[in-house]
Structure 1
Amino acid sequence: MSTPWTIEVDGVVLPKPLSGHPALELCNTRAGWHGPPDPRGEYLRSYDALALLAVTTGVISADTGDALRQHAAKDPGGVEHTLDRTRKLRADLYSAFTESPSAAARHRLADAISAAHSRQRFVVDIDSAQWEFSGHGTLKDPLDAFLIEAGALLTDDRRELITACPGEDCGWLFLNTSRRRRWCQMSVCGNRAKQAAFAQRQRD
């Protein structure tokens, strides 16, 4: 069931898309970035979640997502490795987007993004052209697609617009194109903050 901060895609609960960029949507698969990891704020609990996030954000096609989900059902070991790597690189990305990442995080991101790019080839059709991953699809395709998007954002002027929601148990990222937006959603985190402030004034 969808909520003000989630959507449901093919039976899988995903965070509501509100960041304005695929790489930030990957970061938003965890809530509560201001504190220690909490399983209640984790959305990447299955490979289906990763693949469907990639499809809904447009970094891979629906056909590719379906094929990868079928492959994942036959490779639980590969799924666990992919999800573990995705969560670790997600944390590195969040750090790169919001603060000064450690040298180790910078090296991990540089290596991962470079490796993702090395798998691409440029395909020209009669009336279109696009980048595609070469060879057969692999479980890491969604992550690599997100890494390529992340690399583009890290080298883009829009990087300066990235804002982290200050809401309690949130920390979701978004492109603050208006430069006036404070909350991921005023109707959720903004209202919670208002209610908390009101309650505090009543106590005082």
Structure 2
Amino acid sequence: MEFCNTYAGWHRGPGIPGSDWLRSYATLAVWAGHLDLADDTVVDALLDLARARPDEAAAALTEARAFRTALYACLTDPADGRAFRAVAATAGEAAATAVLTAGTDGLAHWRLPPSAGLRLPLLATARAAADLLTTPARLTLRACPGADCGWLFQDATGRRRWCSLSTCGAAPSPAPAAGG
């Protein structure tokens, strides 16, 4: 869900300036670290690798953006079989690559090894997306109807309409009365 929310304006179509928060591979790598899909050491290594191989980093970013589009379609239209198959293929690749590791919190975690290279953020995201798609939480996802938004949010009550009432759900202020 959070990965889909790195783009705003899903209802407006692609190419709207300022809509894509993943403007560079570095942003993608740091985002993966922020969401705990990669630890700080791995993020630093990815940033170094991206500087050394800019064309591969650009290709990985393009692939991640395409995955994000397929995931959004999959989450907002469960009948979109093509989107589901695209997500499932990348998630399957991620599952085959992931390693179960012991965490310091006493729990095990699926992690993508550094050998995944510049595709690590994509594969880690696909692994997390597969987890979401297999839980009842997936059934509580809604897309904000705001024209400049489209962000996904969880709505366990079934009564929520906006991602944020204070932004997308806020009614425009009425114009001041003439002469007042």
Same fold (TM over 0.5): yes
Deviation of the 1:61 alpha carbon? 1.2
1: CA distance, partners of 2:43 / 2:83: 28
1:172 aligned partner: 151
> Aligned ranges for residues 7-46 of structure 1 at < 5 Å?
24-37=1-14, 38-46=16-24
CA RMSD of aligned residues (A): 2.2
Q: Does 1:140 align with 2:119?
A: yes
Deviation of the 1:66 alpha carbon? 1.5
2: CA distance, partners of 1:169 / 1:99: 19
Q: Does 1:113 align with 2:96?
A: no
Deviation of the 1:58 alpha carbon? 1.6
Check conservation: 2:100, 2:110, Cα contact below 8 A. Answer: yes
State percent identity of aligned pairs: 35
2: CA distance, partners of 1:154 / 1:35: 25
With normalisation by structure 1, the TM-score equals 0.77
Match of 1:93 among 58, 71, 79: 71
1:83 aligned partner: 61
With normalisation by structure 2, the TM-score equals 0.87
2: CA distance, partners of 1:142 / 1:119: 12
Unaligned runs of 5+ in 2: 176-180
Q: Secondary structure at the match of 1:184?
A: coil
**Residues 92-148 of structure 1: CA distance to partner in whole angstroms, max 9, x if unpaired?**
100111114543322221111000110012234795533333463511111111111
Provide closer, same or farther for how the CA distance between residues 125 and 162 of structure 1 changes in structure 2, counting only shifts above 3 A. closer
Deviation of the 1:177 alpha carbon? 2.9
1:123 aligned partner: 101
Provide closer, same or farther for how the CA distance between residues 190 and 135 of structure 1 changes in structure 2, counting only shifts above 3 A. closer
